[in-house]
Copies of this chain bind each other. A is one copy, B any other.
Amino acid sequence: MTQNIYDESAFFENYSQLRRSVEGLAGAPEWPALQSLLPNLNGLKIVDLGCGFGWFCRWARQQGAAQVLGLDISDKMLARATAATSDTTIIYAKADMEKLNLPRASFDLAYSSLALHYVEDLAGLMANVHDAILPGGRLIFSIEHPIYMAPENPRWLVGSDGRKIWPLDSYLNEGRRISDWLAKGVIKQHRTIGTTLNMLIHTGFTITHVEEWGPTARQIDAMPELAEERERPMFMLIAAQH
């Protein structure tokens, strides 16, 4: 089972205070880039893998999605997501991404935001998602960028010229990474970009877009602390088609 860190009190408290938790999609700087990869959602059947507080599920319905299934492992997040809507075409359910068992040929779009890097058996999940998507359907997701996740000590250094340096090492040594983000001992799975893309290809997906996300000049003007994200990417956005 994927570690259910989101239900641990300290983590949940801290996570709830993040801008993306309070403001929803508009509070996530990578959202405009991720949104631009989405097809017109009107009439689509969608599954959201790791739906959290349900911000995307509710937004998808506003865009005319026919049906949205939001899955998460966290009871606390599902409770808040459920309380936030009375829309009966959004269904929330508890699910462990390690043993996903979606019905065959049932969705036009599988969406996931910053969840799949927690999954150990990503190949198994991709195979299930591929079966669950209709021909021509899409898998669109964001994950932590492996450059961000790889290092033994993932903290900025300052170089001799005063510039920030990201201390990369261990990039090709894939596997478990334990970080202290919001709480101690958060377990993530480091994979190279190549591994993730080849997994999609071998599952039968066609890669349609790969983006190593960074803030735009306008975003940095509005929020100068984002500038460091151009030194090394924090997120990766991937679009693939069945």
Q: Which of A23-31, A39-47, A229-237 is near enough to bind chain B?
A: A229-237
Q: Which residue of B lies closest to A170 (CB)?
A: B231
Q: Does the CB pair B192–A212 fall under 8 Å?
A: yes
Chain B residues with CB below 8 A from A236, complex form = 194
Q: Does the CB pair A210–B230 fall under 8 Å?
A: no
Sample of 19 more A-B contacts, CB < 8 Å, known A168-B232, A171-B232, A192-B233:
A157-B157, A157-B167, A159-B167, A163-B169, A165-B168, A167-B168, A169-B231, A169-B232, A170-B231, A171-B230, A171-B231, A171-B233, A172-B214, A172-B229, A172-B232, A194-B212, A206-B206, A206-B207, A207-B207
Q: Please report which residues of chain A, range 168-196, place their CB below 8 angstroms from some CB of chain B when the two chains form the complex.
A: 168-173, 192-194
Question: Does any Cβ of B come within 8 Å of A80's Cβ?
Answer: no
Chain B residues with CB below 8 A from A18, complex form = none
Chain B residues with CB below 8 A from A163, complex form = 152, 169
The number of residues on chain A lying at the interface, defined by a beta carbon within 8 Å of a beta carbon of chain B, is 38
Q: Which residue of B lies closest to A200 (CB)?
A: B207
CA–CA, A212 to B209, complex, Å? Answer: 18
Question: Does any Cβ of B come within 8 Å of A101's Cβ?
Answer: no
> Could you list 24 A-B pairs, sorted by A, with CB under 8 Å?
A147-B168, A152-B161, A164-B169, A165-B167, A166-B169, A166-B171, A167-B167, A167-B168, A168-B231, A168-B232, A170-B231, A171-B230, A171-B233, A172-B212, A172-B231, A172-B233, A173-B230, A192-B212, A193-B193, A197-B197, A197-B210, A198-B209, A198-B210, A201-B207
Q: Does the CB pair A201–B194 fall under 8 Å?
A: no
A159, A167, A170, A209 — which one has the most chain B CB atoms within 10 A of its CB? A167
Residues of A at the B interface (CB closer than 8 Å) are 147, 151-153, 157, 159, 161, 163-173, 192-194, 197-198, 201, 206-212, 214, 229-233, 236
CA–CA, A147 to B231, complex, Å? Answer: 11
Q: Which residue of B lies closest to A156 (CB)?
A: B169
